[in-house]
Structure 1
Amino acid sequence: MQKRVRELGVVPGHLPTGPLNAITDVPGVRVGHTTLDDGADLHTGVTAIVPDALAGDRSELPAAVAVGNGYGKLVGSTQVDELGVLETPIVLTATLSVFRAADALLTWLLDRDPAAVSLNPVVGETNDSFLSDIRRRPITEQHVLAALGNATAGLPDEGCVGAGTGTSALGFKAGIGTSSRVMATGVVGVLVQANFSGVLRVLGTPVEAPPSDREPAGNSCMIVVGTDLPLESRQLSRVARRAIFAMGSVGSDYAPGSGDYAIAFSTSPGGRLPDKQLKPVFQATMESVEEALLNSLTMARTVTGYRGNTRHAVPHDLVRAAARRG
């Protein structure tokens, strides 16, 4: 049975979580999934992170992108970097489906703004080809629209769902994970699509995966950080870099073929947090990313997929044992 890491006695960091311990603890942020799992060759999907402010009277939110290693296809990232704003929901999917997902997100946006002649859809990806027949490019417009349409403010599903259906990390089956931290000034929430290599660490203690014939292709990670704190783009860039730093706490080896990206955005309607108050924000981000990545593993199940490849779920007894030693 899948369990979140706190249910296994693993408590990363010191700051308190939000009530859901999820990115949806940030007011006005919703998450939706579409999962494609045929029990054989297809294990993939779509995850949508939807800030409600963009559907209201605001056309953009302060945002930033950080690149740990740019071996990836993050559609729309250069305009976010150039202008410091997010214009659209963030969609995550598989590598070869990212372009169809971007076109579908554009359809969703055009339907809502009949006067628009320029929009910047933001779509990230990781490579799930070890467990899914990625060349089939099975993601359609309807899959993307469904994920956007079913997005809710409740606790998002984790593990083998949505864009994490076929992903692996640190030698184990992984997927989608989420977490949050609450400070006196606001909330930081994180959602990850975990698909990278290295040796799993639980509170600093290594947990070795069983020997495997080969690492899963891709070795990437998408991290989305949302907050209701009044942060400008420059500050969000600093936050996004800390999100990538936090991958090291769970054992990432930052492989040269890895596309490691973080997107950070703020839903605050105005104001600016002084730079000298950013330290707890950085701490909240790194703690949330660490826990979200661990949740992506402990909430996943063993999957046998394309060409009979299998990726095993991390044994919970090993996680508990590592936590006791950590």
Structure 2
Amino acid sequence: MRVRELGVVPGDLPTGRLNAITDVPGVLVGQTTLANGEVNTGVTAVVPPDFAAGLPAAVAVGNGYGKLVGSTQVDELGVLETPILLTGTLSVFRVADALLSWLLARDPSATSLNPVVGETNDGYLSDIRSRPITAEHVFAALDTASAELPAEGNVGAGTGTTALGFKAGIGTSSRMVGGGTVGVLVQANFSGTLTVLGTPLRPPIEKPAPEGNSCMIVLATDLPLDARQLGRVARRSIFAMGKAGSDFSPGSGDYAIAFSTRRAVVPMVDTALKEVFQASTEATEEALLNSLTMATTVTGYNGNTQYAVPEELIRNRGR
């Protein structure tokens, strides 16, 4: 169940129709899932509209212990020119190469492209050293991307991830604000104590957190924000990890990538960003909780098991 179905409503702002990143007009999500015992991993693709023309974008880094391909050019130019793909740590470079092949096939005249690919370490539940992601898996995620509600939990890049003592995965949410939409998609894989609307909830079975804990956050909006403002909004989404219970471990790579689908000549004034910041924090908190409540128990690599969060632990913890 999504967390709202369990009686938990993070924040006050209204959600979009799907309560998902795909509520932002034109944004598509596609996923490829590999789940066959020893291998539990995949690819999640966030495809912005008209990305090839370049969109305002920014990257925020909570802790830089990770591999985010393409981030320095986004920082330097404030522009995103490709889809954003997520996967497992050691498959990042194969995914980036496949994304580049997909982009070159779309534009025979291209001579410089900056593929953006993020990761979290799913090695506790998946044979990460096998690097099982192929170009065909990447192409499938991109070619099947749609504007429907993205699948959550054990899918795509979240197939083998864990967070806050439980099985986690992909989660998404959105908020309506200022005449536009802020949508978030997360790949949750970090340590800490699950916290629901301020209440810490410990697992019934305590066990050490797997190593390689990280979180990828992708934030989309159709509000007229420039790259500097998107950086401010992205940082607020990382703050939301603390609301969900992250301990911000030194071994965690916590990144947020924010982009706007509008190339505004005149961006919003900074004094109007208060509710946008609120939307970023609320949507990220809910997306993180959805990544947990939509996941199911997995026994994977070397017989390692990560249990799903029990519904009764969360039900009716909020408004």
TM-score bin (small chain): over 0.9
Q: Does 1:260 align with 2:257?
A: no
2:223 corresponding residue in structure 1: 229
User: Could you tell me how far 1:322 is from its partner in structure 2?
Assistant: 3.3
2:12 to 11, 14, 27: 14
1:80-112 deviation line (CA, Å, top 9, x unaligned): 001000010000000000000000000011011
User: Could you tell me how far 1:323 is from its partner in structure 2?
Assistant: 3.1
Q: Is the 8 A contact 2:56 2:263 kept in 1?
A: no
SS of residue matched to 2:254:
strand
SS of residue matched to 2:223:
coil
Q: Is the 8 A contact 2:165 2:207 kept in 1?
A: no
User: Could you tell me how far 1:143 is from its partner in structure 2?
Assistant: 0.4
**RMSD of aligned alpha carbons:** 1.0
Q: For 1:123-272, what aligned pairs fall within 5 Å after superposition?
A: 123-270=117-264, 271-272=266-267
Q: Is the 8 A contact 2:33 2:42 kept in 1?
A: yes
Could you tell me the TM-score, scaled by structure 1's length? 0.96
User: Partner amino acid for 2:135?
Assistant: E
User: Partner amino acid for 1:127?
Assistant: N
User: Could you tell me how far 1:34 is from its partner in structure 2?
Assistant: 0.1
Please identify runs of 4+ aligned residues in structure 1 that moved more than 6 A.
none
SS of residue matched to 1:224:
strand
Query: How many pairs are equivalent?
Result: 318
1:237-279 deviation line (CA, Å, top 9, x unaligned): 0001001011000000000000000000000132311111000
2:293 corresponding residue in structure 1: 298
User: Partner amino acid for 2:18?
Assistant: L
Could you tell me the TM-score, scaled by structure 2's length? 0.98
2:306 to 303, 311, 314: 311
Q: Distance in 2 between matches of 1:306 and 1:217?
A: 14
User: Could you tell me how far 1:214 is from its partner in structure 2?
Assistant: 2.7
SS of residue matched to 2:216:
strand
Between 1:267-276 and 1:107-116, the stretch displaced more is 267-276
Q: Distance in 2 between matches of 1:117 and 1:242?
A: 35
Q: Is the 8 A contact 2:173 2:185 kept in 1?
A: yes
Q: Is the 8 A contact 1:207 1:322 kept in 2?
A: no
Q: Does 1:50 align with 2:47?
A: yes
User: Could you tell me how far 1:321 is from its partner in structure 2?
Assistant: 5.1
Q: Is the 8 A contact 2:220 2:258 kept in 1?
A: yes
Q: Does 1:30 align with 2:28?
A: yes
User: Partner amino acid for 2:307?
Assistant: H
Q: Is the 8 A contact 1:205 1:323 kept in 2?
A: no
Q: Distance in 1 between matches of 2:92 and 2:84?
A: 12
Q: Is the 8 A contact 1:90 1:122 kept in 2?
A: yes
SS of residue matched to 2:160:
coil
Between 1:213-222 and 1:132-141, the stretch displaced more is 213-222
**Which blocks of at least 5 consecutive residues in structure 2 are unaligned?**
none
Q: Distance in 2 between matches of 1:261 and 1:102?
A: 17
User: Partner amino acid for 2:248?
Assistant: Y
